[in-house]
Every structure is written in C-alpha cells, then in structure tokens.
Amino acid sequence: MKEIFDAISIKCSKTTTVSYSTSFSLGIKFLNKKLHNPIYAIYGFVRFADEIVDTFHEYDKQYLFAKFKADTYEAIEQKISLNPILNSFQKVVHTYCIDKYLIDTFLDSMEMDLKKQEFDKKLYDQYILGSAEVVGLMCLRVFCESNLEQYEDLKHFAMKLGSAFQKVNFLRDIKADNEDLGRTYFPEVNLDNFTLADKLEIEQNIQDEFDEALVGIKKLPTSSRKGVYLAYYYYTVLFKKIKNVPPHRIMNERIRIPNFEKMVLMLKSNLRHQFNIL
C-alpha cells in the first residue's frame, strides 16, 4: 500500500533530520504537530543535496548530484520516488504548492559547491539566495498553508532569517570551508589576513538581518512561531559566542554550543515566547 511506503519515507526524512541536526530537530518539536512531517521532508531533501557536495569526496560527486537533481524532478513529475527522501519531498511540493523556482534556485546553489571558487559579491548573493533564502521560503509555504496573502507578507523576513542563519554557519565553519573544501564565501575577504574589521563588517550585516527577521517571526501563525523563534534564539546565542572571540580563533576552531546548553536554550526560548519577550 502506498500509505505504508509514504509512512516509511517520512520516517527516513525524520531520521535524517534528527541524525544531522540537534538544533533543527528541537525547533521542529516546537512547531504544531501537523507541520512536523512537511518540515522533516524539506530538511531531508536539503540535507541530502548538501551532503553530496560537501562530503562524498571519494565518489563522483558530479554524477551523484546530477542523478539526485534528475531524480528530484522525476519524483515531482511522477508524484512518487523509490528514494524515500525524494518521495517525502515531492508530496510536500504538491501539498503546499512549492514553486519550482525555489527548487531550481536551491539546486543551482548546491551545484556551485561542486567546484572550488572564491565568491565575488554577485556570486555570494546568488549563493545565499539559493542555499538559504529559498529554503526559508519553502518552509514558509508550509507555515502559511493556503494563506497566500500571509506568505507574500512574510517572504522578505523569511529570506532574511535564512540568510542570517547561513552567514552564521559560514563564520562558524570558515576554517573547514577554506582548508577542507577550498571555499571562501565572504567576498573581498582575505582569509590569510582575516582582520577584526572584516569580522565586524560581516557581523553587522548578520545582525541587521536578524533584526529584520524578528519582525517577521512575530507575525508568523501561532502554529509555527514558537518553533521558528527557538531556531532564531539558538542562532543568535551562537552568533554572540562567535562575536565574542577574536578573528584568529575563528580561523582555528569551530565555535559550538554543547547539547546540554541547547536544552537550556530550549527552555529559555519557550519561556520568552510564553511571556511574549521576543
């Protein structure tokens, strides 16, 4: 029965989410239960694409990504896939009318990671759009369900939140991206001489985006607001930790939040949301 296969598929997406991201998994738990499976499905799709370009170095990544991309479009067209992750994702695409442009743009950015390159401003903005902003829009389609007016009203804020999250990730992973993957995302920044001025400029841009995003979070439906706020709260705490260390430490270690601290943040976030201290 197709229902059994669909249930197995979403379990694969959930397992992928839980295995790869503690913080994202916690955020999903704070969403209304009806939103859990669609967001698991989106995360599973995004995670698998990212995994191909980031970690499968001993395999033909060009071939694997081209196959994943073709399989994605086939799954959407046929409304089924024997790849459980893509089967879950195609169902969300159809249920929530996720625009093909969002999927195309995401896959284009992932494809950019198949080759080593330094990003100028134009490529950087293009990459952020595809790797982060459109993922925020996919999730927003789920959060707003059939309310297209609400979706249009919140698009700008969802894109800013996705962008801020991605740029915090870039700062956190700057050493590994540069040394292991040969990527320098921040335009016009010389990582051989990463200065405090460089770091402060990047951080100001991220802070501005977080400030804008919070305006939109407050306008989200109650079914999703608490979960999105938790993700926002977690990332702003991580961001503060990164801001408090000098550039040379960023270039030599990965700043992180221990799991026990994540649990404390979850409780604090819940209290702040409960008492409307956003």
Indicate the SS3 state at residue 221: coil
What is the distance between the alpha carbons of residues 80 and 74, in angstroms, rounded to a whole number?
8
For residues 236-241, give the mean pLDDT: 95
Per-residue pLDDT tens digits for 173-189: 998 888 778 788 899 88
The chain-wide mean pLDDT, for the chain, equals 93
Question: Which tokens sit at 93?
Answer: 């695409």
Question: Which tokens sit at 179?
Answer: 């040394």
What is the distance between the alpha carbons of residues 230 and 265, in angstroms, rounded to a whole number?
8
Give the pLDDT confidence score for residue 274 in this predicted structure: 67
> For the stretch 167-177, what's the b/e string if a residue is b when 16 or more beta carbons lie within 10 angstroms of its beta carbon?
bbbbbbbbbeb
Q: Indicate if the pLDDT at residue 170 is higher than 70.
A: yes
- In CATH terms, is domain 2-274 a member of 1.10.600.10? yes
What is the distance between the alpha carbons of residues 159 and 134, in angstroms, rounded to a whole number?
7
Radius of gyration of the chain, Cα coordinates, nearest whole angstrom: 18
**How many helices (DSSP H) and strands (DSSP E) are in the chain?**
14, 2
Cβ 75 vs Cβ 81: under 8 Å: yes
**Site of tokens 């759009």:** 129
Per-residue pLDDT tens digits for 88-138: 999 999 999 999 999 999 999 999 999 877 788 999 999 999 999 999 999
> Which DSSP state fits 64?
H
List residues bridging with 117 in a β-sheet: 183
Cβ 209 vs Cβ 163: under 8 Å: yes
**Site of tokens 């705490």:** 237
Per-residue pLDDT tens digits for 3-41: 999 999 999 999 999 999 888 888 899 999 999 999 999
One-letter amino acid at 50 equals D
Whole-prediction pTM:
0.94
| Residue 9 CB neighbours (<10 A) | 26
- In 3D space, the residue among 74, 213, 79 whose CA is nearest the CA of residue 137 turns out to be 213
